[in-house]
Amino acid sequence: MSEQNDTMVHDFVKRLYVLSNPDDCKAVYDEWATTYNADVQHAGVDYVAPILTASAVIAAGGNISGSILDAGCGTGFVGVALAKSGANNIDGIDLSPSMLEFARKTGVYKDLTVVDMTKAINKQDQSYDVITCVGTFTQGHVGPEPALQELVRLMKKDGLLVCTVLNDVWVSGGYKAEIERLEAVGAVTVLKTEDMDYYRRGDDQQKARMVILKRV
């Protein structure tokens, strides 16, 4: 990664993590969209969360021949990784129309919609076999409620939700508690909440939880 790309990532992330409403978040991602891919990836090794998530879907036995929703899809890294493994029925939702324009250019998404995941999602119950959500459960972005419950609602029985939650907010942001609640009410079985690399840059490594939930 060049120093310039590196600085851009730091600047945008610093601005994003202190935001408190979706309108501001949308404005920052609309601005970042044109350089996002180059800024977060260098030779495909730095921002590893999307590829690790796609691998986790497959390792957990997710039905990638079925219907997939990539929530907070951004420019489409996760969809591209899943498509390389044979998925061909992927929808994407995201807050930022500009990020979605780049996702559209990948050619791997069927339906791409502007959705604010801090609110109820206008899609039918039990629509998807697999839902991914990478890089979106973090500071200044999407909190655990109502988003986790909404994504669970959209999953078919035995479907998988595979998402990342940055370690910094795993407990303090209420994600762990909401996942425990969803398990306690019998909505999901928690298959995994494991430490994963999120972003690697030399010695500077950001860690996240890889969360895998199965719809009961």
Ligand X SMILES: C[S@@+](CC[C@H](N)C(=O)[O-])C[C@H]1O[C@@H](n2cnc3c(N)ncnc32)[C@H](O)[C@@H]1O
**Contacts of ligand X in 21-80 (CB under 6 A):** 22, 25, 29, 49-50, 72-74, 77-78
Strand pairing partners for 190?
Answer: 213
**Contacts of ligand X in 85-104 (CB under 6 A):** 94-96, 99
* Choice between 119 and 158, CB closer to ligand X: 119
CB of 184 vs ligand X, minimal distance in Å: 26
Closest CA to 134 of 41, 209, 216, 38: 209
Q: Which stretch binds ligand X (CB under 6 A): 81-89, 129-137, 189-197, 203-211?
A: 129-137
CB of 57 vs ligand X, minimal distance in Å: 13
* Choice between 116 and 183, CB closer to ligand X: 116
The yes or no reply on residue 136 touching ligand X (CB under 6 A) is yes
Q: Which residues contact 14 (CB under 8 A, 6 or more apart)?
A: none
Size of the site for ligand X (CB under 6 A): 23
Q: Which two tokens stand for residue 100?
A: 């979605």
Report the residue closest to ligand X, judged by CB.
74
Residue choice 64, 117, 121, 212 for contact with ligand X (CB under 6 A): 117
* Choice between 193 and 206, CB closer to ligand X: 206
Contact 95, 25 (CB under 8 A): yes
Residue choice 68, 142, 160, 212 for contact with ligand X (CB under 6 A): 142
Residue type, 27: A
Cα 172–chain centre separation: 19
Distance from the first to the final alpha carbon of the chain: 42
Contact 112, 103 (CB under 8 A): yes
Q: What is the DSSP letter of 145?
A: T
CB of 56 vs ligand X, minimal distance in Å: 13
Give the largest CA-CA distance in the chain: 48
CB of 196 vs ligand X, minimal distance in Å: 13
The CA angle 84-45-77, to the nearest 5 degrees, is 40
Which residues make up the interface to ligand X (CB under 6 A)? 22, 25, 29, 49-50, 72-74, 77-78, 94-96, 99, 115-118, 134-136, 141-142
